[in-house]
Amino acid sequence: MGDKPAVAVFGAYGHTARFVVDELCRRGYRPILCGRDEGKLAAMAQACSSLPRRQASVGDAASLDRALSGAVAVINCASPFLDTGAPVIEAALRAGIHYLDLTAEQRAVQDVFERHAQDAARAGVVVLPAMAFYGGLADLLATAAAGDWLEVDAIEVAVALDSWHLTMGTRLTSQRNHYPRLVVSEGELALLPGAPLAREWSFGPPFGDQAMVAMTLSEVVTIARHLKTRELISYINRGSLEDIRDPTTPPPLASDASGCSAQRFAMDVRVRRGGERRRAQASGQDIYAVSAPLVVEALERILQGAVRGTGALPAGAAFDARDFLTALASHLAVRID
């Protein structure tokens, strides 16, 4: 670790959080390991003996205040974010520090913008939800593809995974989140139609042509906050959806020394205005692991002042999307047409 400031990581013992802690250490920050389960925090001592550990509960504001003491920001990795988001944001606002999270939950992101935007702006801090593979990456790609288009007719996001081995946090979130999914239709957030929306999508190698099913996540809410579009929808390949629905699908297993799984992904975003079309694509390894450089790069830019304003911000509005994606070249292969 270097001489950069301390950053609290709430839910530090979770699968994705461990990648976040490693990325913070790699960049010279001093993570403060925080979470609800004291036993799991203690179990991290073998690998992270030099890092401070602070138990805190979302039901105990004083414990959260103690956990965030001395930090310049908190990265919330503890799902379901429907339960943890508001208490940790409120603690961050009391401390006057920045807040980032990894949520894919649409309702959790809506809650951030509806409940905390004004308080965050008054406090002069950044509250940045969904800064992960789902949410942040799609938002950055859509923003980069749109470029100088401030208003478009349609945005489509397509995700292909060669498999989706779910973490316990993902499973708990799917059980907790009973809110209907949203799309943008006729320029407004609307319910995803009840009948399954399916289509074919050509990704190119290695995924080729894939059968896709509509599955909208936090990117719909974040993109709609700053890009004016008449239509916006997200799809995932059918094989990944079957993995999600199968209770016997195993959790992700490390395939290398970094802890990354062997999973491969591709994300393809297409933007249309009239008869013109633009496209941005990203591909890489392990959707959980890649969320770490995404959220830590966002943190670093916030602390350096390379962020557009304060308050509750979506990724595409907060940063220069093309420059941000270029900075992740060692983690993502990106192409913008």
Pair (237, 190) in one structural domain: yes
**Mean pLDDT calculated for residue range 37-66:** 92
Each residue's pLDDT tens digit, 187-209 = 999 999 887 799 999 999 999 99
Report the pLDDT value the prediction gives residue 97, as an integer from 0 to 100.
98
Q: Facing residues of 198 across strands?
A: 213
Residue 1 lies in a domain: no
Residue 206 lies in a domain: yes
Whole-angstrom distance, CA of residue 319 vs CA of residue 216 = 23
Pair (161, 189) in one structural domain: yes
Pair (171, 236) in one structural domain: yes
Backbone conformation region of residue 64, classed left if phi is above 0, alpha if psi is from -120 to 50, else beta: alpha
- Maximum distance among all alpha carbons in the chain? 58
- Is 7 a residue whose pLDDT tops 90? yes
- Alpha carbon dihedral 14, 17, 19, 21, in 10-degree steps, equals -120
Whole-angstrom distance, CA of residue 48 vs CA of residue 68 = 18
Pair (251, 194) in one structural domain: yes
DSSP code string of 3-57: SPPEEEEETTTSHHHHHHHHHHHHTT-EEEEEES-HHHHHHGGGT-TTS-EEE--
- The boundaries of the domain holding residue 143 are 133-286+321-336
Whole-angstrom distance, CA of residue 9 vs CA of residue 48 = 13
Helical spans, DSSP H, in 116-265: 117-123, 138-146, 168-176, 218-226, 238-245
Task: Name which of 12-21, 39-48, 249-258 the model is least confident about.
Answer: 39-48
Q: Strand, helix or coil at 329?
A: coil
Pair (90, 174) in one structural domain: no
- Is 316 a residue whose pLDDT tops 80? yes
Residue 160 lies in a domain: yes
Pair (138, 243) in one structural domain: yes
A 10 A CB-CB count for 54 gives 21
What are the start-end ranges of the E strands in 170-254? 182-185, 188-191, 198-202, 209-214, 228-237
Pair (161, 230) in one structural domain: yes
CB 223 within 8 A of CB 139: yes
Each residue's pLDDT tens digit, 70-89 = 999 999 999 999 999 999 99
CATH code, domain carrying 51: 3.40.50.720
Each residue's pLDDT tens digit, 123-175 = 999 999 999 999 999 999 999 999 999 999 999 999 999 999 989 888 888 77
Q: Taking all residues of the chain, what is their mean pLDDT, rounded to a whole number?
A: 95
Each residue's pLDDT tens digit, 232-282 = 999 999 999 899 889 899 999 999 999 999 999 999 999 999 999 999 999
What is the number of domains present in the chain? 2
